[in-house]
Structure formats: C-alpha cells, structure tokens
Amino acid sequence: MCGIVGYIGQLDAKEILLKGLEKLEYRGYDSAGIAVANEDGVHVFKEKGRIADLRAAVDQTVMSQAGIGHTRWATHGEPSRLNAHPHQSASGRFTLVHNGVIENYVQLTREYLQDVELKSDTDTEVVVQLIEQFVKGGLDTEEAFRQTLMLLKGSYAIALFDLENKGTIYVAKNKSPLLVGLGDTFNVVASDAMAMLQVTNEYVELMDKEMVIVTDKKVVIKNLDGELMSRASYIAELDASDIEKGTYPHYMLKEIDEQPLVMRKIIQTYQDENGKLSIPGDVAEAVAEADRVYIIACGTSYHAGLVGKQFIESWAKVPAEVHVASEFSYNMPLLSEKPLFIFISQSGETADSRAVLVQVKKLGHKALTITNVPGSTLSREADYTLLLNAGPEIAVASTKAYTAQIAVLAILAAVTAESRGKALGFDLVKELGIIGNAMEALCDQKDEMEMIAREYLTVTRNAFFIGRGLDYFVCLEGALKLKEISYIQAEGFAGGELKHGTIALIEDGTPVIALATQEHVNLSIRGNVKEVTARGANACVISLKGLEEADDRFVLPEVQPELAPLVSVIPLQLIAYYAALHRGCDVDKPRNLAKSVTVE
Ligand code: M6R
C-alpha cells in the first residue's frame, strides 16, 4: 500500500526519490509523484500508473537537494494524476505526502476549510490545507503541523515540505509505518528500509503520535506534547541483493524457488547447539501456559494459521482457534481465562491485525507475533516475536512467507508439545529436511507445472480447488494465489461441502484441482473427484506418493503427511504463476492489490 520517501542532503534528490519509489513498487500502487525544491521553488511531478511513467514525466534538468515522494494506492478518490500525491496547500507553500486514512476529513473540511477550494478528492489534501490555515493564523510551521496532527483521527505517515524552510522535512506517524534513515551528510525518510538501502542501512524507528524534524544534519523526534524523545538507531540487516530479481523474470518465481533454502534456514535458526529444536524460553512458556491459543491473521497468513492450528492442537494439545483479523475486532468470541494471541503476518504491518493486537493488549492479554520483518509494528507491539527468516518477500503474492509461517508454527507446536510431555511420533528436524529436498525437486519441475496451467487454466473463467482436512486449507491458499494474480475466479472448497451447493457450478470443462495427500480422507476426496468428473469437470488430481492412482495428474514426493501442506502448495503456486503469465497478467504487481495492507 502507499509508500513514502524523502531525502535531504547534498546529492540530487530526484534520482534518489525515484529509485526509492521503485523499491516501494512491490507494496502496490496506482499513481506516484515527487516534489523537489530548489531556489526556483517546489517542482511537483505526478503521474497515474507506474513509476516508469513518472520517471518519464520528471524534468531531468531540475536539480535539488531535498524532496519527498509517494506511491499512492487509492482509498479516497479514483487513481488519477489529480489525486496522486504530493498535494499542495492553496498558496503552494506547503507540499505533503501521506499514507493511511484520515477518518475525520469531512468534519475537518467543514470546520476549518470552508473558504478553501479543495483541488482533489482525497482525504490527504485536507491535512496540507489545514497546516496552511494554522500558519495563516500566526503559528510557525512546526506548531501548525503539531496542531494539525492533534486534530487528525485515523492512520497516517506524513512527510511535509515548507517552501519557506527548504532545509527541513517535517514527518509524523500514527499507525502507518515510517522510518527515518541516517547518513553523514544527509537524512532520509522511508516507509520501509528497502527503499533507501541505496544510501543508508542505519534507521530510527518512529512510534505512533510522534513528529520528527529532519534536516541534512539533524533528526529531532518529539511527541505531540512537544517533548523531545530519544531513540537509538539500528542497522537494517538487509542485503541489497536480497531485493533484486537477479536473472529471474519475476520476484514471485524467485521467491517460490527460495523455499527450500528458507526451510533450511528456519531449521538452523530454531535449533540449539545439540541440534534440538528450540525457541526462546519465554515464548515456549507463554504457549505452554495458555489455556487456548487465538491465531489472528489475514489472507495467506490466515491460511498458514489454519494449518498451524492443527499442529498446536494435535501435537501440543492446546486448544486453538484461527480468526480473520478484520472480523475479529467486532466479532470477538468469548475468550478463555488464559488466552495467548498469535499474530501471523509476513509484513508485520497489516492494519487489520494490528487493530486486534491493540484491542487484546488493552484487555491485558499476551501476544506473540510471527513475522518476516524484524522491528515491524506487530513485532514491536507484541510481547514476543518469532521471525520467519525468509528474506524480503517482494511479490504481492505471498509464497515463501506461507511455507515459512507453517514451518515456524510446526516448530512452535513441537517445542510446546515436548515441554508438555507429549510425543510427536516423528523427528521434526529430519522431516523438515526431507521437506526442503522435496521442495527442491518440485521447483525443478516447472515445465510440468507450466503444462498443467496451460492445459487447465488458459481458457476458463473459473476454477475450483478441493481437498479435505489439511488439503482443504492448502486449497484455500491455492485458490487465493490463482485469483490474485491471474484474475480467474478461483475458490477453495472442502470436498464434503461440494454437494451442499457448490457442485451446481460445475459444468463441462470446469477445472477442478483436487489435493489428495491425507490417507484418512483419500477415499472420500476420490469420491468427490468422481462426482465432479461425472458432471463434466476437468479434474486435475495432485496426490502424495503412496496414495497415487493411475489417472492422477501429478504425484508429490513422499513426505510426513502432516507436513504435506509445505509441499503440496508449491505446484499450486507455480500453476498460478504460469496461468497468470499465459494470460499476460502483471505477476508481481496484480491489479488493485498491495503487498502491505496498512489501512483497515
Ligand atoms: O503481511 P501479512 O502477512 O499480514 O499480509 C496478509 C495478507 O494481506 C497477504 O497474505 C495477502 O493475502 C497476500 N497478497 C496473499 O498472497
């Protein structure tokens, strides 16, 4: 979702801003813009569409040592050049970029801006106009900014530029991510460290309701009462090559291929010196002491949570529930006496999950975040964190984070089981090693996956994924992958539910992808395949070695069946990838979607 960059220093700002915005492209956006200042004034360039379009529109002769930039994912007002950020105040003195949603913008317009003609349809423009109104009323810029922030309801990350003080960028944050990056002769602002890794890897985190005065030499953090805050910087442990595509045509394909490596890294990370699986003692204790675990997540992370719940219940014998974060806030179930909340989030910034975290912390409950991003909001605000160590995931469609989440949940459940004296019945370290090898073998069979995608999904308007037990959860994920990048209407169903309604949708040629990796439901899912085939479906069965039948389209390598989701999802990821490719879709940046969903 929207991204912010800012630079103030000695180098040409526009190139740094444009490169920064390119690094934020993965978050999803539909328009972009930059504003740079020099002795002639502020120069604003905005375009609907891609950063490449913006780059083409930027006047390369304009030199400047300060500026702000933005990628916009439309919430208020259609994606257009007019609604793209930066927005300017009526006089043109103030220029501002904003991520998030200002919930009370209508009310603020009514109360403070009746005489101001707003140029855009955005909630953002209200902020910059308000600042100007306060300055007109006699406040200096910093105070006007502070007064404005105090009026805002909702979420924001803001960077503000004042034409009459070109040596400063004013920054603020509430609920939307924002970092300040430090350099010797410059400072930067970014929604995400990756954007400014080109110039620095040293960052300062900002907390909610803080404002920052950034010059090329100084970074001054204050709370909204105007009190100075001190904060140590940290080094972002990111390798610039981690965020490059290398020879891959798409990040998604690179990230699918990275899964075996991620499995090995996770095994290493969560092993003690004797090779035994281990997680930090306080986390293990928190799970072991809980009388019920509530897993909260969205999208793919929710699907990983469904698999994780099985591990926690069947291995550790702790009751567990999985909830979609956006529903949980207003649909909270009756909680147990000693609950533990587990938040699963690749980005650690998902606003819906964060809203629940805030809610449950207020109730005094303990929370653990499982995330790929150290220092992310969900990690900072929870009591405990377990990291995925999957490396940056850039493609909007989550792949390696999903398998990493399942593996970390498996380790968490296994360690808890052991601490509660429950036997697993197999050696998880060994089995995860086998999974890594199986993943590698699957990633080597891309031609086969491309053929399946061509055969079943090239000309279709819909597709169904069916499975039972753990396979059902993987089907939900397979369908999400396919729909989000190929725009084929895809749904995952529990095999047993078909006859209760969904089977009515089956007609001649409807693609039905069925997973058969679980012995105890194998006969039943085979029965479901027969039912849909009898009604004309084009069924594609993917089975686990040992359970295969003659007509199965693809057989997965043999793995521990409870861990089968870690391998059965790989063909589904690859099939979705090739289906999207065949249909000419923008695989890494699907329409309307954002990588990091930072608004509720
Ligand atoms: O960063 P998170 O894991 O919290 O993100 C949750 C979902 O937005 C995310 O998984 C989304 O569903 C992906 N685009 C799916 O590929």
Q: Are residues 263 and 179 in the same domain?
A: no
SS in 3 state form for 567-590?
A: HHHHHHHHHHHHHHHHCCCCCCCC
Neighbours of 459 (CB within 10 A): 10
Among 179, 208, 238, the domain-final residue is 238
C-alpha dist (Å) from residue 579 to 393, 473, 575, 588: 21, 21, 6, 13
Q: In what order do the strands lie in the sheet with 489-494?
A: 489-494, 462-467, 511-516, 538-544, 554-556
- State the Cα–Cα distance between residues 580 and 256, nearest whole angstrom: 15
Q: 255, 302, 347, 474: which to mutate for ligand 1, most atoms within 8 A of CB?
A: 347
Distance CA 45, CA 56 (A): 10
Ligand 1: does its nearest atom lie under 6 Å from the Cβ of 398?
yes
Residue 443 bears catalytic tag: no
**What is the gyration radius of the CA atoms in the chain, in angstroms?**
25
The SS3 of residue 181 is: strand
How many domains are there within the chain? 3
CATH of the domain at 255: 3.40.50.10490
Structure tokens at 12: 């040409």
153 is catalytic: no
Cα(458) to centroid(ligand 1), Å? 25
- Give the residue from 185, 218, 238 where a domain finishes: 238
User: Within this chain, do residues 192 and 317 fall inside the same structural domain, yes or no?
Assistant: no
* 271: DSSP letter: B
Domain residue limits at 354? 242-425
Claim to verify: residue 461 and residue 412 sit in the same structural domain: no
Strand order in the sheet with 234-235: 41-48, 31-38, 66-72, 3-8, 187-190, 179-182, 202-205, 234-235
| Whether residues 45 and 136 fall in one domain | yes
Same domain, 417 and 461: no
Task: For residues 63 and 195, state if they share a domain.
Answer: yes
* Nearest CA owner, ligand 1 atom 4: 345
Alpha-carbon distances, residue 488 vs 363, 457, 478, 524 (angstroms): 42, 8, 12, 27
Is the shortest distance between the CB of 477 and ligand 1 below 6 Å?
Answer: no
| Structural domain contains residue 135 | yes
As a dihedral over the C-alpha atoms of residue 13, residue 17, residue 19, residue 23, rounded to 10 degrees, the angle is 150
The span from the CA of 178 to the CA of 389, in Å, is: 22
Q: Which residue is it, tokens 């003195």?
A: 93
- Beta-strand relationship, 179-182 and 202-205: antiparallel
Q: Ligand 1: does its nearest atom lie under 6 Å from the Cβ of 125? A: no
Taking the centre of ligand 1 as the mean of its atom positions, its distance from the CA of residue 516, in whole angstroms, is 26
| Nearest CA among 526, 529, 534, 514 for reference residue 467 | 514
pLDDT at 1: 66
In a domain, 9, yes or no: yes
Q: Alpha helix (H) ranges present in 210-317?
A: 251-257, 259-269, 281-289, 299-314
Catalytic residue (choose from 2, 298, 540, 585): 2
Q: What is the CATH number of the domain that holds 52?
A: 3.60.20.10
Both tokens assigned to 349: 């910034």
- 240 CA distance to ligand 1 middle (Å): 23
pLDDT given for residue 22 in this prediction: 92
Query: 10-residue block means of pLDDT along the chain (600 residues)?
Result: 92 95 85 94 94 94 95 90 96 96 94 93 96 97 98 95 95 92 96 90 92 97 95 82 81 95 95 91 90 97 98 96 93 93 96 94 96 90 96 94 98 94 92 95 95 93 96 98 96 94 91 98 97 96 97 96 98 98 92 77
> Do residues 102 and 126 make contact, with C-beta atoms less than 8 angstroms apart?
yes
> Ligand 1 atom closest to Cα of 402?
10
Stated as kind and residue range, the H or E segment containing 51 is helix 51-57
* 513: its two tokens: 């992808």
Tokens of 460: 């279709």
Q: Is there a single domain that holds both residue 148 and residue 201?
A: yes
Same domain for 249 and 221:
no
Nearest CA residue ID for atom 14, ligand 1: 397
